[in-house]
Chain A
Amino acid sequence: MSSSLGALLAGLGGGAVIASLGVGLVLTYRSSNVVNFAHAALGMYVAYAYFDFRETGDLVLPVLGLPARVHLVPRPTLATALVFALVLAAALGAVVYLVIFRLLRTGAPLARVVASLGLLLYLQEVVRVRFPVAGAGVVRRRPVLPTAPVRLLGTVVTVNRLALALLAVAVAVVLTVFFRFSALGLAIRAGAANEKGALLLGISPNRLGVVSWAAATVLGGAAVILIEPISGLSPSTTPLLVVPALAAALLGGLRSFALTTVAGLGIGMAQSLILDLAVRPDATWLPGWLPTTGLQQAVPVVVIIGVLVRRSDVLPDRRGVLAQRLPPSPTPRHVTGWVVAIGALAIWGLWTAGASGRHGIIVSTIAAVGSLSVVVATGYVGQISLAVQAIAGIAGFTAIRLMEQRAPFLVAVVAAVALATLVGTLVSWPATRVRGMSLAVVTLAVAVAIEGLVLASDAVSGGAAGRSAPRPEIFGWDLSVGAVGAANFRPRYGAVCLVGLGLAAAGVANLRRNRTGLRWLAVRSNERAAAAAGIEVARAKLGAFAVSSLLAGLAGVLTAFAVTTLSPNSFMAIGALVIVALTYLGGVAGISGALIAGVLTQGGVLSALGGDSGATTGEGPVLALSGIALIVAAILVPGGISGAVRAWLPAARSPQSQPRRVPQESSR
Chain B
Amino acid sequence: MRRFTTCIAVVAVMVLGLSCSEADPGGGATQRSTIATSELCRADDLVACARRSSLGELIVESPTPATGDPLVIGMINQENTPAGSYPELSQAVQAAVSFVNEQLGGLAGRPIRVEVCNTGFSAEGSTDCGQKFVEARVPAVLGGIDVFGNAVDVLAANGVPYVGGIPVSMQSVRSDNSFQWSGGTWGAAVAFAHHAVEAHATSVSIVYGDFGSIADAAKVGEAVLKRAGATVQMVPYPVLTTDLTAALSAAVGSDHDAVIVLAADTGCRAGLEGLAALGTRATRYFTGACAAPSITEQVGNAATEGAIFNVEGPIPKGVDDPDRDLYNAVVARYGDGLNPIGAGTVTFRSFMNLYRVLVGLGADPTASGVSTALRSQAGAPSFDGHASTCDRKQFPALPAMCAPQQILARMHNGQLAQIGDWIDVGSIARG
Contacts and interface: CB of A to CB of B under 8 A. Distances in A.
Interface string A129-150: 0001011111111000001110
B120 A603 contact: yes
A86 B266 CA distance: 26
A82 to B, nearest CB: 9
B18 interface: yes
A73 B246 contact: no
A594 B115 CA distance: 34
A207 B270 CA distance: 41
A564 B80 contact: no
Given A232-B269, A614-B125, A617-B117, A158 B277 contact: yes
Interface stretch (B60-68, B335-343, B374-382, B411-419): B335-343
A230 B289 contact: no
Given A565-B150, A617-B115, A484 B23 contact: no
A10 B249 contact: yes
Given A83-B15, A137-B294, A56 B29 contact: yes
Contact of A232 (B134, B238, B267): B267
B270 A230 contact: yes
A488 B158 CA distance: 10
Contact of A465 (B174, B297, B339): B174
B131 interface: yes
Contact of A464 (B18, B216, B253, B289): B216
Interface stretch (B4-12, B51-59, B99-107): B4-12
A276 B124 contact: no
A221 interface: no
Interface stretch (B84-92, B356-364, B420-428): B84-92
Most-contacted residue by chain B among A56, A271, A468 (CB, 10 A): A271
Contact of A128 (B22, B85, B171, B233): B85
Contacts of B30: 55-56
Contacts of B343: 134-135
Interface string B14-30: 11001111111010011
B318 interface: no
A3 interface: yes
Interface stretch (A13-21, A101-109, A330-338, A429-437): A13-21
A318 to B, nearest CB: 29
Nearest to B290: A137
Interface stretch (B191-199, B207-215, B319-327, B401-409): B207-215
A657 interface: no
Contact of B22 (A75, A124, A227, A482): A75
A485 B367 CA distance: 13
Nearest to B84: A236
Interface string B252-287: 011000000000111111100100111100000000
Nearest to B203: A281
A149 B216 contact: no
A618 B118 CA distance: 8
A664 interface: no
Given A147-B273, A614-B124, A6 B249 contact: yes
B253 A6 contact: yes
Nearest to A121: B82
Contacts of B307: none
Contacts of B88: 134-135
A485 B210 contact: no
Contacts of B19: 72-73, 76, 80
B279 A276 contact: no
B118 A138 contact: no
Interface residues of B, number: 109
A623 B233 contact: no
Interface string A611-634: 001111111001100000000000
A463 B134 CA distance: 28
B241 A363 contact: no
Contact of A488 (B20, B131, B248): B131
B157 interface: yes
B82 A139 contact: no
A482 B157 contact: yes
A603 B124 contact: yes
A237 B240 contact: yes
Nearest to B19: A73
B153 A75 contact: no
Contact of B298 (A10, A140, A207, A468): A140
A140 B297 contact: yes
A156 interface: yes
B235 A275 contact: yes
Given A149-B277, A359-B128, A603-B120, A241 B210 contact: no
Nearest to A77: B22
Contacts of A468: 153
B342 A237 contact: no
B279 to A, nearest CB: 6
Interface stretch (A289-297, A402-410, A508-516, A547-555): A289-297
Interface in A184-240: 184, 204, 207, 211, 227, 229-232, 234-237, 239-240
A229 B270 contact: yes
A614 B79 CA distance: 11
B37 interface: no
B158 A484 contact: yes
B11 A83 contact: yes
A158 B249 CA distance: 12
A75 B29 contact: yes
Contacts of B368: none
B122 A614 contact: yes
Contacts of B127: 359, 563-564
Contacts of B50: none
A13 B245 contact: yes
Given A77-B21, A79-B18, A565-B171, A236 B117 contact: no
Nearest to A129: B80
Given A137-B289, A207-B1, A603-B128, A276 B253 contact: yes
B170 A466 contact: yes
Contact of B243 (A230, A488, A489): A230
A450 B117 CA distance: 32
A663 to B, nearest CB: 36
B124 A363 contact: yes
A538 B51 CA distance: 77
B375 to A, nearest CB: 20
Nearest to B90: A617
Given A137-B268, A464-B213, A7 B80 contact: no
Nearest to B338: A134
A464 B80 contact: no
A587 interface: no
Nearest to A233: B266
B83 interface: yes
B225 interface: no
A10 B211 contact: no
Contacts of A354: 135
B158 A11 contact: no
B38 interface: no
Interface of B: 1, 4, 8, 11-12, 14-15, 18-24, 26, 29-33, 80-88, 115-120, 122-125, 127-129, 131-132, 134-135, 147-150, 153-154, 157-158, 170-171, 174, 210-213, 215-216, 231, 233-243, 245-251, 253-254, 264-270, 273, 276-279, 289-290, 292, 294-295, 297-298, 338-339, 341-344
Given A617-B117, A623-B82, 8 more contacts: A10-B245, A55-B30, A135-B265, A140-B32, A207-B1, A363-B124, A486-B135, A567-B123
Interface of A: 3, 6-7, 10-15, 17-18, 55-57, 72-80, 83-84, 86-87, 90, 121, 124-125, 128, 132, 134-141, 147-149, 155-158, 161, 184, 204, 207, 211, 227, 229-232, 234-237, 239-241, 243-244, 268, 271-272, 275-276, 279-281, 291-293, 296-297, 354-356, 359, 363, 452, 456, 463-466, 468, 482, 484-486, 488-489, 563-567, 569-570, 602-603, 613-619, 622-623
10 contacts: A121-B82, A136-B265, A230-B270, A240-B240, A482-B157, A564-B154, A603-B120, A613-B132, A614-B124, A615-B129
